[in-house]
Amino acid sequence: SREQLGTHAWLLRGFALSRADVLLTAIARITAQSPFRQMSTPGGLTMSVGLSNCGALGWTSDSHGYRYTPRDPLTDLPWPSMPAPLLSLAAEAAEAAGFPEFMPDACLLNRYLPGSRLSLHQDRNERDFSAPIVSVSLGMGAIFLFGGHARSDRTTRVSLLHGDVAVWGGEDRLRYHGILPLKDQPHPATGSLRYNLTFRKAG
Ligand code: MD3
Ligand code: FE
């Protein structure tokens, strides 16, 4: 099913469900090389979410700021390449939401434990905001906050469940968004974990 969240924002419920095992296996392989780690923010806080990346570019944060890099600062190796099944899932979801030419060069992997959260933010470290962002949720459910173009705009709550895929483009691409602290509601596929994959054209 296809739920409209904004003019150019769509929630594709269960779009990744039949491919969840393949995605979880890919996450395990990627993070065997580039492990999940808790990054620091320029403000001096430690993120509660664990992060890794695959693809030509990976998003990182440290005391100096946010940026995309071709190498993992933890291993000094290139980020693991983007597995073909991930790339095709992202392209198919984008097409289903009206973005037929999506070619992501970056996939951010987020790992949430009970209590992990992501405070309200915009995704604006990418070079070109005309490309959409595709996000895939796996494991425990989460409550997603979808806001406006100012931090103080009111937010709506959307539950994101195992296998859900969301696509954000056009005027919705720069909306504020976040994830409320995760409840511990173990999922058969992942136990007390939630994974989110976000595909972007960063470079
Ligand atoms: C709406 N991740 O990694 S995915 C992020 O579930 C991030 O881990 C969340 O926000 C997560 O930056 C939310 C859904 C999402 C991703 C990007 C967006 C929603 C978005 C960009 C613009 C508007
Ligand atoms: Fe975000």
- The pLDDT tens digits for 5-32 are 999 999 999 999 999 999 999 999 999 9
**DSSP percent split of the chain into helix, strand, coil, nearest 5:** 15, 35, 50
User: Which secondary structure element, helix H or strand E, spans residue 76, and what is its range?
Assistant: none
Q: Mutation test of ligand 1: which of 41, 108, 111, 177 has the most ligand atoms closer than 8 Å to its C-beta?
A: 177
Q: Which residues contact 117 (CB under 8 A, 6 or more apart)?
A: 48, 49, 178, 179, 180, 181, 182
Predicted confidence (pLDDT) per residue in 78-120, tens digit: 999 999 999 999 999 999 999 999 999 999 999 999 999 999 9
| Cα 121 to ligand 2 centroid, rounded to whole Å | 6
Q: What pLDDT shows up at residue 192?
A: 99
Confidence at 1, pLDDT banded by 50, 70, 90? confident
Instruction: Tell me what percent of the residues of the chain surpass a pLDDT of 70.
Output: 100
Task: Say what the pTM is.
Answer: 0.97
| DSSP annotation string for 105-156 | SEEEEEEE-TT--EEEE----SS-TTS-EEEEEEES-EEEEE--SSTTS--E
- The single-letter DSSP state of residue 57 is -
Q: Which domains does the chain have, with CATH numbers?
A: 2-200 (2.60.120.590)
Task: For residue 196, give the ligand nearest its CA.
Answer: 1
| Cα 188 to ligand 1 centroid, rounded to whole Å | 24
Nearest CA among 69, 94, 95 for reference residue 199: 94
User: From atom 15 of ligand 1, which residue's Cα is the shortest distance away?
Assistant: 135
User: Which secondary structure element, helix H or strand E, spans residue 67, and what is its range?
Assistant: strand 65-69
Q: Compute the average pLDDT of residues 126-143.
A: 97
Lateral strand order in the sheet of 50-54: 2-6, 9-12, 165-168, 133-139, 194-200, 106-112, 50-54
Q: What pLDDT shows up at residue 112?
A: 99
User: What's the complex ipTM?
Assistant: 0.96
User: What average pLDDT is seen over the chain?
Assistant: 97
